[in-house]
A = this chain, B = another copy of it.
């Protein structure tokens, strides 16, 4: 076995999340995930480096959307304005019909420090990529890193609200409100 299977990646991802929610992350092996969709452990490892990565696939597309958001900002935009453009780009990755999936995924991540660590590392990598894109547009340091990290902060807070029980606003709308809050907080401290 171990051959390429059409749709295998997506089936493995869906099966992994189901098993992590039902049985627990620690109690689920790569072989369990593969077996639940009729595949072998070897096939699992063809698609994912480990049991954690299966929850993080798709990050490349998120990074692309961030960079497209950066490119869409006017040339004379301030670093923070570029970051806002990048943030709104990420909303496409999280349409409303993905909210329930994101909620379930977050439940699993929040329960496991090892997954939280991986998530933080991925987010830090995304913020570093964003800071690099800002420097390429001519933003100096530390402004580039401060703006990129502030973007990560806004994203984290907005995402937390987006997946909260009963929330109905879109991620883009929430992000706009959180940016406004961040700016008003900063101006209040002067």
A interface, CB within 8 angstroms of B = 78-81, 84, 113, 116-118, 120-121, 124, 142-143, 145-147, 149-150, 153-154, 156-157, 161, 178, 181-183, 185-190
**What are the residues of chain B within 8 A of A154 when measuring CB–CB?**
146
Q: A-side binding surface: helix, strand, loop or mixed?
A: helix
Known contacts A116-B124, A153-B153, A143 near B181 by CB under 8 Å: yes
Quick check: A146 and B142 within 8 Å, CB to CB? no
Known contacts A120-B124, A178-B142, A187-B187, A153 near B149 by CB under 8 Å: yes
Quick check: B120 and A78 within 8 Å, CB to CB? no
A154 to B117, CA, bound (A): 21
A143 to B180, CA, bound (A): 11
**What are the residues of chain B within 8 A of A121 when measuring CB–CB?**
113, 116-117, 120
Q: List 16 A-B contacts (CB under 8 A).
A: A78-B185, A80-B186, A116-B124, A117-B117, A117-B120, A117-B121, A120-B124, A142-B181, A145-B157, A146-B153, A147-B185, A149-B153, A149-B157, A150-B186, A153-B153, A187-B187
A172 CB, min distance to chain B CBs, angstroms: 16
Nearest B residue to A114 via CB reads B117
